């Protein structure tokens, strides 16, 4: 589990943001949880020759994101 946090700011169309937040709420997840999960999965899927740490790979196998 990460002990420090860093802010990632993204720009998104307001309509997409609203819909994204509604879908997250339906699944009882925060948008941050979903974005963290998407980022982790993207890194695992696209690492290429970069060796990923075990904690990252294990993190993609969890049924939920409780960070």
Q: Write the pLDDT tens digit of every residue in 27-65.
A: 999 999 999 999 989 999 999 999 999 888 876 654 544
Any domain includes 67:
no
Higher pLDDT, 51 or 67: 51
* Distance between CA atoms of residues 18 and 31, nearest Å: 11
Cα–Cα distance between 13 and 40 in angstroms, integer? 23
- Is 44 inside a domain boundary? yes
Are 35 and 22 spatial neighbours (Cβ–Cβ below 8 Å)?
no
* Domain residue limits at 24: 14-59
pLDDT at 61: 58
55 found inside a domain: yes
pLDDT for 14: 98
Domain count, the chain: 1
């Amino acid at each position: 589990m990460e002990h420090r946090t860093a802010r990632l700011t993204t720009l998104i169309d307001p309509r997409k943001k609203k819909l994204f937040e509604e879908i997250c709420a339906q699944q009882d997840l925060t948008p941050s949880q979903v974005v963290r999960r998407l980022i982790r999965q993207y890194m695992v899927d696209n690492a290429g020759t970069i060796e990923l740490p075990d904690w990252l790979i294990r993190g993609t196998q969890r049924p939920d994101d409780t960070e």
